[in-house]
Amino acid sequence: MPNQRTPLYHGRIVDLGLEMVTLPNGQQISLEIVRHPGGTVVAAIDDKQQICLLRQYRHATGGFIWEVPAGKLDPGEAPCTAAQRELKEEAGVLASHWHELGAIYSTPGFCDEVLHLYLAQQLTFTSCAPQPEEYLEVHWLPFAKALKWAHRGQIKDAKTLVILFRAAGVLGLF
C-alpha cells in the first residue's frame, strides 16, 4: 500500500502532514512528517584560519545562538549557488574556492530536510544584506577557538557542530 499523506499545514518554509506508512516489518503507523526544501551550510575560513560565526537571534531557542552562515534552498536552486548567496547575504563574503563537505539530515525522526555542507576559502569581503526576519552579528574567530567553543558546549547549533568537525578534517586538524 503506498503512503498516504493528509496535509495539515503549508507554510513559507515547511509543510506538515500526517502520513500513513508501512514499516519494513509490515506494521502500519501514522507519522507527523515535516517536508522541507533543504538548505546549505557554509564554513567560511579566511587566510588567517579564522571562521565566520554568526551570533543570531533565534526566537525558537529563546535568544541568541552561535552558528555559521546557512539558509534554505530556493525552488530549483543548486545547493552551491544557495551557499554562495547565503554567505554573501548573511556575512558579506564572496569565496573563490568551494569544497563540498557532504550532506546531512537535520532531524530525520520527523523531517526530510537535507543540509548541504560547504567549506568556503579564498575570501573577499563586501556588504551583507540579511533578510528582514534575520537579526545577526558577524564575528570572525580563530578556527581552533571555535572548536574549543564547540567542545565546551558554547555552540549548540547542530549543523554548526557538524560542519566544524568536517572542516577540521579537510584542514588536516585531525
pLDDT of residue 2: 59
Rounded to whole angstroms, how far apart are CA atoms 81 and 88? 11
The grid coordinates listed for 81 are 549557488
In the chain the domains, ranked by start, together with CATH numbers, are 4-35 (no CATH), 39-170 (3.90.79.10)
pLDDT of residue 128: 85
> What is the 3-state composition of the chain as percent helix, strand, coil, each rounded to the nearest 5?
20, 45, 30
The residue annotated as part of the active site, out of 32, 89, 100, 133, is: 133
DSSP state of 75: T
DSSP state of 111: B
**Along the chain (174 residues), what's the average pLDDT of each consecutive run of 10 residues?**
85 96 96 98 98 97 98 97 97 98 98 99 92 90 98 98 98 88
Is 134 part of the annotated catalytic residue set? no
Do residues 163 and 155 lie in contact, with contact meaning Cβ atoms separated by under 8 Å? no
pLDDT of residue 23: 96
Rounded to whole angstroms, how far apart are CA atoms 22 and 43? 39
Rounded to whole angstroms, how far apart are CA atoms 160 and 20? 33
